[in-house]
Structure 1
Amino acid sequence: MILQTKQLTKQFGGLVAVKNVDFNIEKRKVNAIIGPNGAGKSTFFNLISGVHRPSSGQILYKGEDITHLPANKVAELGLARTFQTTNLFEMATVFDNVVVGHRLRTRSNFFDAIFRTKRLKEEEERCKQKALEVLKFTELSHIGHQLVANISQEEKKRVAFALALATEPEIVFLDEPTAGVNPDETESLAYLIKKMVNQGITVCLIEHKMRMIMDLADRIMVLNYGEKLAEGTPSEINKNEEVIRAYLGGSGASA
Protein backbone atom coordinates (compact mmCIF):
# COMPACT_ATOMS: atom_id res chain seq x y z
CA MET A 1 0.00 0.00 0.00
CA ILE A 2 1.38 3.37 -1.05
CA LEU A 3 -1.57 5.68 -0.34
CA GLN A 4 -4.48 5.40 2.06
CA THR A 5 -7.58 7.45 2.79
CA LYS A 6 -9.34 7.23 6.14
CA GLN A 7 -12.95 8.39 6.53
CA LEU A 8 -12.33 10.96 3.78
CA THR A 9 -15.23 13.40 3.49
CA LYS A 10 -15.97 16.48 1.39
CA GLN A 11 -19.02 18.65 1.88
CA PHE A 12 -20.02 21.53 -0.40
CA GLY A 13 -22.61 23.45 1.61
CA GLY A 14 -25.44 20.98 2.21
CA LEU A 15 -24.13 18.47 -0.38
CA VAL A 16 -21.88 15.65 0.81
CA ALA A 17 -19.89 14.73 -2.32
CA VAL A 18 -17.59 12.20 -0.63
CA LYS A 19 -18.56 10.53 2.63
CA ASN A 20 -16.30 8.58 5.00
CA VAL A 21 -14.34 6.79 2.27
CA ASP A 22 -11.62 4.35 3.31
CA PHE A 23 -9.46 3.31 0.35
CA ASN A 24 -6.04 1.71 -0.04
CA ILE A 25 -4.03 2.22 -3.22
CA GLU A 26 -1.74 -0.74 -3.79
CA LYS A 27 1.79 -0.04 -5.00
CA ARG A 28 2.67 -0.91 -8.61
CA LYS A 29 -0.87 -2.04 -9.37
CA VAL A 30 -3.82 -0.71 -11.38
CA ASN A 31 -6.34 0.61 -8.85
CA ALA A 32 -9.69 1.62 -10.35
CA ILE A 33 -12.61 3.71 -9.13
CA ILE A 34 -15.99 3.24 -10.78
CA GLY A 35 -19.51 4.46 -10.14
CA PRO A 36 -22.43 6.29 -11.74
CA ASN A 37 -22.15 9.92 -12.85
CA GLY A 38 -22.20 12.16 -9.78
CA ALA A 39 -20.91 9.39 -7.51
CA GLY A 40 -18.03 11.57 -6.24
CA LYS A 41 -15.18 10.00 -8.22
CA SER A 42 -13.55 13.18 -9.55
CA THR A 43 -14.07 14.93 -6.21
CA PHE A 44 -12.24 12.03 -4.56
CA PHE A 45 -9.32 12.55 -6.98
CA ASN A 46 -9.41 16.30 -6.30
CA LEU A 47 -9.10 15.65 -2.56
CA ILE A 48 -6.08 13.37 -2.96
CA SER A 49 -4.32 15.69 -5.42
CA GLY A 50 -4.78 18.77 -3.24
CA VAL A 51 -7.24 20.59 -5.52
CA HIS A 52 -9.87 20.51 -2.74
CA ARG A 53 -9.35 20.41 1.02
CA PRO A 54 -11.25 17.61 2.80
CA SER A 55 -13.99 18.54 5.25
CA SER A 56 -12.77 15.69 7.45
CA GLY A 57 -10.73 12.50 7.29
CA GLN A 58 -7.13 11.75 6.39
CA ILE A 59 -4.90 11.10 3.37
CA LEU A 60 -1.67 9.20 4.05
CA TYR A 61 1.08 8.85 1.44
CA LYS A 62 3.81 6.39 2.42
CA GLY A 63 2.59 6.81 5.98
CA GLU A 64 2.91 10.63 5.88
CA ASP A 65 -0.17 12.79 6.44
CA ILE A 66 -0.69 14.91 3.29
CA THR A 67 -4.33 15.80 4.00
CA HIS A 68 -3.86 19.58 3.96
CA LEU A 69 -1.02 19.98 1.45
CA PRO A 70 -1.67 22.24 -1.58
CA ALA A 71 -1.67 20.70 -5.07
CA ASN A 72 1.87 21.82 -5.97
CA LYS A 73 3.33 20.18 -2.85
CA VAL A 74 1.37 16.98 -3.49
CA ALA A 75 2.77 16.90 -7.04
CA GLU A 76 6.32 17.40 -5.75
CA LEU A 77 5.90 14.32 -3.56
CA GLY A 78 5.31 12.22 -6.67
CA LEU A 79 1.55 12.27 -7.32
CA ALA A 80 0.65 13.20 -10.91
CA ARG A 81 -2.83 13.78 -12.30
CA THR A 82 -4.60 13.90 -15.64
CA PHE A 83 -8.08 15.36 -16.07
CA GLN A 84 -11.26 14.17 -17.74
CA THR A 85 -11.00 17.14 -20.11
CA THR A 86 -7.48 17.15 -21.54
CA ASN A 87 -5.85 20.48 -20.62
CA LEU A 88 -2.95 21.12 -23.00
CA PHE A 89 -1.39 24.12 -24.74
CA GLU A 90 -3.11 23.68 -28.10
CA MET A 91 -0.90 26.16 -29.99
CA ALA A 92 2.37 24.71 -28.69
CA THR A 93 4.10 21.59 -29.97
CA VAL A 94 3.71 18.19 -28.36
CA PHE A 95 7.38 18.38 -27.29
CA ASP A 96 6.98 21.82 -25.67
CA ASN A 97 3.87 20.65 -23.79
CA VAL A 98 5.79 17.74 -22.29
CA VAL A 99 8.86 19.84 -21.42
CA VAL A 100 6.63 21.81 -19.02
CA GLY A 101 6.06 18.69 -16.91
CA HIS A 102 9.66 18.34 -15.79
CA ARG A 103 9.81 21.99 -14.66
CA LEU A 104 8.36 20.64 -11.40
CA ARG A 105 11.78 19.06 -10.71
CA THR A 106 13.83 22.19 -11.44
CA ARG A 107 15.03 24.90 -9.05
CA SER A 108 15.86 27.82 -11.36
CA ASN A 109 14.50 31.20 -10.23
CA PHE A 110 13.93 34.68 -11.64
CA PHE A 111 17.64 35.54 -11.25
CA ASP A 112 18.63 32.45 -13.26
CA ALA A 113 16.19 33.39 -16.02
CA ILE A 114 17.41 36.99 -16.28
CA PHE A 115 21.10 36.11 -16.37
CA ARG A 116 20.80 32.77 -18.19
CA THR A 117 22.87 31.06 -15.53
CA LYS A 118 24.61 27.72 -15.81
CA ARG A 119 21.95 26.15 -13.56
CA LEU A 120 19.16 27.36 -15.83
CA LYS A 121 20.86 25.99 -18.95
CA GLU A 122 21.55 22.63 -17.31
CA GLU A 123 17.97 22.33 -16.09
CA GLU A 124 16.58 23.29 -19.50
CA GLU A 125 18.65 20.51 -21.04
CA ARG A 126 17.42 18.00 -18.45
CA CYS A 127 13.81 19.00 -19.20
CA LYS A 128 14.38 18.43 -22.91
CA GLN A 129 15.97 15.03 -22.31
CA LYS A 130 13.12 13.97 -20.02
CA ALA A 131 10.59 15.08 -22.65
CA LEU A 132 12.34 13.00 -25.32
CA GLU A 133 12.38 10.02 -22.95
CA VAL A 134 8.67 10.11 -22.12
CA LEU A 135 7.66 10.84 -25.72
CA LYS A 136 9.48 7.67 -26.72
CA PHE A 137 7.79 5.74 -23.88
CA THR A 138 4.33 6.95 -24.93
CA GLU A 139 5.12 6.35 -28.64
CA LEU A 140 4.78 10.01 -29.58
CA SER A 141 8.30 10.78 -30.79
CA HIS A 142 7.15 10.95 -34.41
CA ILE A 143 4.74 13.84 -33.69
CA GLY A 144 6.82 15.78 -31.17
CA HIS A 145 7.15 18.69 -33.61
CA GLN A 146 3.41 18.97 -34.32
CA LEU A 147 1.06 21.46 -32.71
CA VAL A 148 -1.28 19.83 -30.21
CA ALA A 149 -4.22 21.46 -32.03
CA ASN A 150 -3.43 19.30 -35.09
CA ILE A 151 -3.23 15.86 -33.46
CA SER A 152 -5.94 13.27 -32.78
CA GLN A 153 -7.91 12.89 -29.56
CA GLU A 154 -6.11 9.63 -28.76
CA GLU A 155 -2.74 11.32 -29.28
CA LYS A 156 -3.81 14.15 -26.96
CA LYS A 157 -4.57 11.53 -24.32
CA ARG A 158 -1.04 10.17 -24.75
CA VAL A 159 0.40 13.69 -24.46
CA ALA A 160 -1.46 14.07 -21.15
CA PHE A 161 0.10 10.77 -20.01
CA ALA A 162 3.53 11.98 -21.15
CA LEU A 163 3.11 15.29 -19.33
CA ALA A 164 2.27 13.42 -16.12
CA LEU A 165 5.21 11.04 -16.57
CA ALA A 166 7.60 13.97 -17.11
CA THR A 167 7.04 14.97 -13.46
CA GLU A 168 8.69 11.65 -12.44
CA PRO A 169 5.70 10.44 -10.41
CA GLU A 170 5.28 7.40 -8.20
CA ILE A 171 1.48 7.45 -8.62
CA VAL A 172 -0.44 8.62 -11.67
CA PHE A 173 -4.15 9.45 -11.26
CA LEU A 174 -6.01 9.14 -14.56
CA ASP A 175 -9.48 10.67 -14.77
CA GLU A 176 -11.38 8.86 -17.57
CA PRO A 177 -8.29 8.37 -19.73
CA THR A 178 -10.20 6.74 -22.61
CA ALA A 179 -13.16 9.13 -22.81
CA GLY A 180 -13.90 10.13 -26.41
CA VAL A 181 -11.77 7.48 -28.12
CA ASN A 182 -12.81 4.41 -30.13
CA PRO A 183 -12.41 0.75 -29.03
CA ASP A 184 -9.06 0.21 -30.80
CA GLU A 185 -7.66 3.40 -29.26
CA THR A 186 -9.05 2.35 -25.87
CA GLU A 187 -7.10 -0.89 -26.18
CA SER A 188 -3.87 0.93 -27.06
CA LEU A 189 -4.25 3.28 -24.07
CA ALA A 190 -4.93 0.31 -21.79
CA TYR A 191 -1.68 -1.22 -23.05
CA LEU A 192 0.14 2.03 -22.21
CA ILE A 193 -1.29 1.95 -18.68
CA LYS A 194 0.00 -1.62 -18.25
CA LYS A 195 3.36 -0.46 -19.57
CA MET A 196 3.48 2.28 -16.91
CA VAL A 197 2.80 -0.25 -14.15
CA ASN A 198 5.49 -2.56 -15.55
CA GLN A 199 7.90 0.37 -15.17
CA GLY A 200 7.10 0.52 -11.44
CA ILE A 201 4.50 3.30 -11.50
CA THR A 202 1.32 2.95 -9.45
CA VAL A 203 -1.86 3.81 -11.37
CA CYS A 204 -5.24 4.86 -10.02
CA LEU A 205 -7.92 5.56 -12.59
CA ILE A 206 -11.54 6.57 -12.96
CA GLU A 207 -13.21 4.94 -15.93
CA HIS A 208 -16.69 4.17 -17.30
CA LYS A 209 -15.66 1.54 -19.86
CA MET A 210 -16.42 -1.56 -17.84
CA ARG A 211 -14.89 -4.17 -20.10
CA MET A 212 -11.59 -2.28 -20.05
CA ILE A 213 -11.68 -1.95 -16.25
CA MET A 214 -12.45 -5.62 -15.70
CA ASP A 215 -9.54 -6.60 -17.95
CA LEU A 216 -7.08 -4.04 -16.63
CA ALA A 217 -7.60 -3.40 -12.92
CA ASP A 218 -6.08 -5.33 -10.03
CA ARG A 219 -8.44 -3.75 -7.49
CA ILE A 220 -11.68 -1.79 -7.91
CA MET A 221 -13.56 0.53 -5.58
CA VAL A 222 -17.18 1.37 -6.35
CA LEU A 223 -18.57 4.74 -5.25
CA ASN A 224 -22.27 5.54 -5.14
CA TYR A 225 -23.66 8.87 -3.87
CA GLY A 226 -20.21 9.65 -2.43
CA GLU A 227 -19.98 6.48 -0.34
CA LYS A 228 -17.95 3.33 -0.89
CA LEU A 229 -20.36 0.65 -2.02
CA ALA A 230 -17.84 -2.13 -2.57
CA GLU A 231 -14.15 -2.90 -3.05
CA GLY A 232 -12.42 -5.97 -4.42
CA THR A 233 -10.99 -7.76 -7.44
CA PRO A 234 -12.72 -7.42 -10.82
CA SER A 235 -14.23 -10.87 -10.35
CA GLU A 236 -15.60 -9.96 -6.92
CA ILE A 237 -17.04 -6.66 -8.16
CA ASN A 238 -18.63 -8.27 -11.20
CA LYS A 239 -20.51 -10.69 -8.96
CA ASN A 240 -21.50 -8.16 -6.29
CA GLU A 241 -25.30 -7.84 -6.28
CA GLU A 242 -25.30 -4.33 -4.80
CA VAL A 243 -22.93 -3.12 -7.53
CA ILE A 244 -25.00 -4.79 -10.23
CA ARG A 245 -28.15 -3.05 -8.98
CA ALA A 246 -26.54 0.37 -8.47
CA TYR A 247 -24.24 0.59 -11.45
CA LEU A 248 -24.08 -2.30 -13.85
CA GLY A 249 -27.77 -2.12 -14.68
CA GLY A 250 -28.72 -5.62 -13.64
CA SER A 251 -26.06 -7.65 -15.44
CA GLY A 252 -22.32 -8.20 -15.41
CA ALA A 253 -19.76 -6.12 -17.30
CA SER A 254 -20.42 -5.95 -21.00
CA ALA A 255 -19.93 -2.34 -22.05
Structure 2
Amino acid sequence: MLEIRNVTKRFGGLTAVHDVSTTIERGLVNAIIGPNGAGKTTFFNLVSGTIAPTTGSIVFEGRDVTGLRADQVARLGISRTFQSTTLFDMATVLDNLIVGHRLRTRSGLVDVLFDTKRLREEERLCREKAREALDFVGLSHVAQRLAGDISQEERKRVAFALALATEPKLVLLDEPAGGVNPEETAGLAELIRKFVRHGITVCLIEHKMDMIMSLADRIMVLNYGEKIAEGTPAEIRSNPAVIDAYLGSEHAVP
Protein backbone atom coordinates (compact mmCIF):
# COMPACT_ATOMS: atom_id res chain seq x y z
CA MET A 1 0.00 0.00 0.00
CA LEU A 2 2.81 2.40 0.92
CA GLU A 3 6.43 2.04 -0.17
CA ILE A 4 9.25 4.04 1.40
CA ARG A 5 12.38 4.00 -0.76
CA ASN A 6 15.74 5.00 0.75
CA VAL A 7 14.30 8.01 2.57
CA THR A 8 16.66 10.37 4.37
CA LYS A 9 15.81 13.58 6.23
CA ARG A 10 18.49 16.01 7.35
CA PHE A 11 18.02 19.12 9.46
CA GLY A 12 21.27 21.00 8.92
CA GLY A 13 23.97 18.76 10.33
CA LEU A 14 21.49 16.41 12.04
CA THR A 15 20.26 13.33 10.18
CA ALA A 16 16.91 12.42 11.75
CA VAL A 17 16.06 9.59 9.32
CA HIS A 18 18.79 7.83 7.36
CA ASP A 19 18.25 5.71 4.25
CA VAL A 20 15.08 3.98 5.48
CA SER A 21 13.22 1.63 3.16
CA THR A 22 10.08 -0.24 4.18
CA THR A 23 6.53 -1.06 3.13
CA ILE A 24 3.19 -0.60 4.86
CA GLU A 25 0.99 -3.59 4.09
CA ARG A 26 -2.70 -3.10 3.32
CA GLY A 27 -5.14 -4.52 5.86
CA LEU A 28 -2.56 -4.97 8.62
CA VAL A 29 -1.56 -3.24 11.83
CA ASN A 30 1.95 -1.96 11.11
CA ALA A 31 4.00 -0.60 14.02
CA ILE A 32 7.13 1.50 14.43
CA ILE A 33 9.09 1.28 17.67
CA GLY A 34 12.38 2.55 18.98
CA PRO A 35 13.95 4.74 21.67
CA ASN A 36 13.10 8.41 22.12
CA GLY A 37 14.82 10.41 19.39
CA ALA A 38 15.00 7.44 17.03
CA GLY A 39 13.24 9.34 14.22
CA LYS A 40 9.77 7.78 14.50
CA THR A 41 7.71 10.98 14.48
CA THR A 42 9.94 12.47 11.78
CA PHE A 43 9.16 9.36 9.72
CA PHE A 44 5.42 10.02 10.17
CA ASN A 45 5.95 13.67 9.25
CA LEU A 46 7.59 12.56 6.01
CA VAL A 47 4.81 10.14 5.09
CA SER A 48 2.01 12.60 5.93
CA GLY A 49 3.55 15.48 3.98
CA THR A 50 4.32 17.66 6.99
CA ILE A 51 7.94 17.79 5.83
CA ALA A 52 9.65 16.68 2.62
CA PRO A 53 12.50 14.14 2.54
CA THR A 54 16.01 15.28 1.72
CA THR A 55 16.46 12.24 -0.51
CA GLY A 56 14.41 9.16 -1.34
CA SER A 57 10.82 8.65 -2.41
CA ILE A 58 7.41 7.80 -0.96
CA VAL A 59 4.90 5.90 -3.09
CA PHE A 60 1.25 5.48 -2.04
CA GLU A 61 -0.91 3.05 -4.01
CA GLY A 62 1.46 3.29 -6.95
CA ARG A 63 1.60 7.11 -6.97
CA ASP A 64 4.72 9.05 -6.07
CA VAL A 65 3.65 11.42 -3.28
CA THR A 66 7.14 12.64 -2.36
CA GLY A 67 7.05 16.32 -1.45
CA LEU A 68 3.25 16.73 -1.62
CA ARG A 69 1.69 19.05 0.95
CA ALA A 70 -0.06 17.55 3.98
CA ASP A 71 -3.52 18.51 2.68
CA GLN A 72 -2.79 16.85 -0.67
CA VAL A 73 -1.61 13.68 1.05
CA ALA A 74 -4.73 13.68 3.24
CA ARG A 75 -6.99 13.97 0.20
CA LEU A 76 -5.30 10.90 -1.27
CA GLY A 77 -6.29 8.94 1.84
CA ILE A 78 -3.51 9.21 4.45
CA SER A 79 -4.64 10.63 7.79
CA ARG A 80 -2.79 10.93 11.09
CA THR A 81 -3.00 11.71 14.77
CA PHE A 82 -0.33 13.38 16.92
CA GLN A 83 1.35 12.64 20.24
CA SER A 84 -0.38 15.64 21.77
CA THR A 85 -4.10 15.72 21.03
CA THR A 86 -4.84 19.33 20.12
CA LEU A 87 -8.51 20.24 19.76
CA PHE A 88 -10.57 23.42 19.64
CA ASP A 89 -11.32 23.30 23.37
CA MET A 90 -14.01 25.99 23.32
CA ALA A 91 -15.93 24.23 20.53
CA THR A 92 -18.10 21.15 20.92
CA VAL A 93 -16.72 17.72 20.15
CA LEU A 94 -19.07 17.50 17.17
CA ASP A 95 -17.89 20.84 15.76
CA ASN A 96 -14.26 19.67 16.09
CA LEU A 97 -15.09 16.67 13.91
CA ILE A 98 -16.97 18.66 11.28
CA VAL A 99 -13.60 20.22 10.44
CA GLY A 100 -12.24 16.76 9.62
CA HIS A 101 -14.52 16.17 6.64
CA ARG A 102 -14.01 19.69 5.30
CA LEU A 103 -11.15 18.56 3.04
CA ARG A 104 -13.69 16.50 1.05
CA THR A 105 -15.86 19.54 0.27
CA ARG A 106 -15.67 22.12 -2.55
CA SER A 107 -17.55 25.14 -1.22
CA GLY A 108 -15.67 28.44 -1.15
CA LEU A 109 -16.15 32.09 -0.36
CA VAL A 110 -18.78 32.61 -3.06
CA ASP A 111 -20.86 29.75 -1.65
CA VAL A 112 -20.69 31.33 1.81
CA LEU A 113 -21.65 34.80 0.56
CA PHE A 114 -24.64 33.52 -1.38
CA ASP A 115 -25.58 30.64 0.93
CA THR A 116 -25.64 28.25 -2.01
CA LYS A 117 -27.33 24.90 -2.19
CA ARG A 118 -23.91 23.24 -2.45
CA LEU A 119 -22.79 24.88 0.80
CA ARG A 120 -25.91 23.75 2.66
CA GLU A 121 -25.60 20.22 1.35
CA GLU A 122 -21.92 19.99 2.23
CA GLU A 123 -22.56 21.35 5.73
CA ARG A 124 -25.21 18.66 6.20
CA LEU A 125 -22.82 15.99 4.95
CA CYS A 126 -19.97 17.18 7.20
CA ARG A 127 -22.28 17.00 10.22
CA GLU A 128 -23.46 13.54 9.20
CA LYS A 129 -19.89 12.25 8.77
CA ALA A 130 -18.91 13.76 12.13
CA ARG A 131 -21.76 11.93 13.88
CA GLU A 132 -20.84 8.67 12.14
CA ALA A 133 -17.21 9.04 13.27
CA LEU A 134 -18.28 9.75 16.87
CA ASP A 135 -20.53 6.71 16.87
CA PHE A 136 -17.69 4.57 15.47
CA VAL A 137 -15.35 5.49 18.35
CA GLY A 138 -18.09 5.21 20.98
CA LEU A 139 -18.44 8.89 21.86
CA SER A 140 -21.89 9.86 20.61
CA HIS A 141 -22.82 10.79 24.17
CA VAL A 142 -20.26 13.63 24.32
CA ALA A 143 -21.12 15.21 20.95
CA GLN A 144 -22.39 18.46 22.46
CA ARG A 145 -19.82 18.78 25.24
CA LEU A 146 -16.95 21.24 24.94
CA ALA A 147 -13.77 19.49 23.83
CA GLY A 148 -11.93 21.09 26.75
CA ASP A 149 -14.19 19.29 29.24
CA ILE A 150 -13.64 15.68 28.18
CA SER A 151 -11.13 13.18 29.60
CA GLN A 152 -7.71 12.34 28.16
CA GLU A 153 -8.94 8.96 26.95
CA GLU A 154 -11.94 10.61 25.28
CA ARG A 155 -9.61 13.13 23.62
CA LYS A 156 -7.64 10.20 22.19
CA ARG A 157 -10.86 8.75 20.77
CA VAL A 158 -11.83 12.14 19.32
CA ALA A 159 -8.44 12.20 17.57
CA PHE A 160 -9.26 8.77 16.10
CA ALA A 161 -12.66 10.10 15.01
CA LEU A 162 -11.12 13.21 13.47
CA ALA A 163 -8.82 11.02 11.38
CA LEU A 164 -11.78 8.83 10.44
CA ALA A 165 -13.85 11.84 9.32
CA THR A 166 -11.35 12.49 6.51
CA GLU A 167 -12.34 9.12 4.96
CA PRO A 168 -8.81 7.65 5.06
CA LYS A 169 -7.38 4.49 3.57
CA LEU A 170 -4.32 4.59 5.84
CA VAL A 171 -4.21 6.06 9.36
CA LEU A 172 -0.95 6.97 11.11
CA LEU A 173 -1.34 6.93 14.90
CA ASP A 174 1.42 8.63 16.90
CA GLU A 175 1.43 7.19 20.45
CA PRO A 176 -2.34 6.62 20.56
CA ALA A 177 -2.20 5.16 24.08
CA GLY A 178 0.07 7.81 25.61
CA GLY A 179 -1.16 9.08 28.98
CA VAL A 180 -3.98 6.57 29.49
CA ASN A 181 -4.29 3.70 31.97
CA PRO A 182 -4.08 -0.03 31.12
CA GLU A 183 -7.85 -0.53 30.89
CA GLU A 184 -8.17 2.46 28.55
CA THR A 185 -5.17 1.20 26.55
CA ALA A 186 -6.98 -2.10 25.96
CA GLY A 187 -10.04 -0.19 24.73
CA LEU A 188 -7.95 1.86 22.29
CA ALA A 189 -6.26 -1.31 21.01
CA GLU A 190 -9.67 -2.79 20.29
CA LEU A 191 -10.63 0.41 18.47
CA ILE A 192 -7.53 0.02 16.28
CA ARG A 193 -8.60 -3.53 15.45
CA LYS A 194 -12.02 -2.14 14.55
CA PHE A 195 -10.39 0.27 12.08
CA VAL A 196 -8.70 -2.66 10.34
CA ARG A 197 -11.90 -4.73 10.30
CA HIS A 198 -13.57 -1.84 8.48
CA GLY A 199 -10.90 -1.73 5.77
CA ILE A 200 -8.61 1.00 7.16
CA THR A 201 -4.93 0.12 7.30
CA VAL A 202 -3.11 1.28 10.44
CA CYS A 203 0.48 2.24 11.17
CA LEU A 204 1.24 3.28 14.74
CA ILE A 205 4.08 4.49 16.91
CA GLU A 206 3.85 3.33 20.50
CA HIS A 207 6.07 2.75 23.53
CA LYS A 208 3.72 0.32 25.31
CA MET A 209 5.31 -2.93 24.26
CA ASP A 210 2.64 -5.23 25.64
CA MET A 211 0.12 -3.43 23.44
CA ILE A 212 2.36 -3.53 20.37
CA MET A 213 3.30 -7.19 20.71
CA SER A 214 -0.34 -8.27 20.98
CA LEU A 215 -1.69 -5.88 18.32
CA ALA A 216 0.83 -5.48 15.48
CA ASP A 217 1.18 -7.76 12.49
CA ARG A 218 4.47 -6.20 11.37
CA ILE A 219 6.98 -4.07 13.29
CA MET A 220 9.81 -1.83 12.11
CA VAL A 221 12.46 -0.75 14.61
CA LEU A 222 14.32 2.55 14.31
CA ASN A 223 17.42 3.57 16.24
CA TYR A 224 19.30 6.82 15.67
CA GLY A 225 17.26 7.33 12.50
CA GLU A 226 18.19 3.98 10.95
CA LYS A 227 16.13 0.83 10.51
CA ILE A 228 17.76 -1.92 12.56
CA ALA A 229 15.08 -4.60 12.25
CA GLU A 230 11.74 -5.46 10.70
CA GLY A 231 9.43 -8.44 11.06
CA THR A 232 6.70 -10.09 13.08
CA PRO A 233 6.40 -9.46 16.83
CA ALA A 234 8.02 -12.84 17.52
CA GLU A 235 10.95 -12.02 15.24
CA ILE A 236 11.41 -8.59 16.81
CA ARG A 237 11.32 -9.95 20.36
CA SER A 238 14.09 -12.42 19.55
CA ASN A 239 16.31 -9.99 17.62
CA PRO A 240 19.52 -9.32 19.62
CA ALA A 241 20.02 -5.85 18.10
CA VAL A 242 16.50 -4.79 19.12
CA ILE A 243 16.86 -6.21 22.62
CA ASP A 244 20.12 -4.36 23.07
CA ALA A 245 18.93 -1.04 21.60
CA TYR A 246 15.40 -0.86 22.97
CA LEU A 247 13.42 -3.77 24.34
CA GLY A 248 15.67 -5.05 27.11
CA SER A 249 15.53 -8.56 28.44
CA GLU A 250 12.03 -8.22 29.97
CA HIS A 251 10.41 -8.23 26.52
CA ALA A 252 12.70 -10.80 24.91
CA VAL A 253 11.46 -14.23 23.97
CA PRO A 254 12.24 -16.53 26.94
TM-score, normalised to structure 1, is 0.98
Q: Which amino acid aligns with 1:204?
A: C
SS of the residue corresponding to residue 128 of structure 2 reads helix
Is 1:90 aligned to 2:106, yes or no?
A: no
CA spacing shift, 1:253–1:136, aligned 2, 3 Å: farther
Q: Percent of aligned pairs with the same residue?
A: 64
> C-alpha deviations, 1:66-108, integer Å up to 9, x for none?
0111111001100001000001111111111111100010000
Matches within 5 A, 1:100-139: 100-139=99-138
Matches within 5 A, 1:79-228: 79-228=78-227
Q: List structure 1 runs of 4+ shifted beyond 2 angstroms.
A: none
* 8 Å contact kept, 1:154–1:181: yes
The runs of 5 or more residues in structure 2 that have no matched partner are none
Q: For residues 20 and 251 of structure 1, what CA distance do their matches in structure 2 show?
A: 30
Q: Which amino acid aligns with 1:99?
A: I
Q: For residues 118 and 32 of structure 1, what CA distance do their matches in structure 2 show?
A: 44
Q: Which amino acid aligns with 2:220?
A: M
Q: For residues 69 and 126 of structure 2, what CA distance do their matches in structure 1 show?
A: 24
Matched residue, 2:46: 47
Q: Which amino acid aligns with 2:104?
A: R
Q: Which amino acid aligns with 1:116?
A: D
> C-alpha deviations, 1:161-191, integer Å up to 9, x for none?
0000000000000000000000000000000
Q: For residues 64 and 148 of structure 1, what CA distance do their matches in structure 2 show?
A: 37
| Structure 1 residue 17 displacement after superposition | 0.3
Q: For residues 234 and 8 of structure 2, what CA distance do their matches in structure 1 show?
A: 28
Matched residue, 1:240: 239
Q: For residues 249 and 183 of structure 2, what CA distance do their matches in structure 1 show?
A: 27
Q: Which amino acid aligns with 1:41?
A: K
Q: For residues 181 and 252 of structure 1, what CA distance do their matches in structure 2 show?
A: 21
Q: For residues 75 and 41 of structure 1, what CA distance do their matches in structure 2 show?
A: 19
Q: For residues 71 and 125 of structure 1, what CA distance do their matches in structure 2 show?
A: 25
Q: For residues 138 and 94 of structure 2, what CA distance do their matches in structure 1 show?
A: 12
* 8 Å contact kept, 2:219–2:232: yes
The runs of 5 or more residues in structure 1 that have no matched partner are none
* 8 Å contact kept, 2:9–2:54: yes
SS of the residue corresponding to residue 6 of structure 2 reads strand
Matched residue, 2:24: 25
Q: Which amino acid aligns with 1:23?
A: T
Q: Which amino acid aligns with 2:6?
A: Q
| Structure 1 residue 251 displacement after superposition | 3.5
* 8 Å contact kept, 1:244–1:251: no
CA RMSD of aligned residues (A): 0.9
* 8 Å contact kept, 1:211–1:253: no
| Structure 1 residue 253 displacement after superposition | 5.6
> C-alpha deviations, 1:36-77, integer Å up to 9, x for none?
000000000000111111000010001111011111100110
Q: For residues 112 and 202 of structure 2, what CA distance do their matches in structure 1 show?
A: 35
Q: For residues 27 and 43 of structure 2, what CA distance do their matches in structure 1 show?
A: 20
TM-score, normalised to structure 2, is 0.98
> C-alpha deviations, 1:206-228, integer Å up to 9, x for none?
00000000000000000000000
Q: For residues 103 and 71 of structure 1, what CA distance do their matches in structure 2 show?
A: 14
* 8 Å contact kept, 2:79–2:166: yes
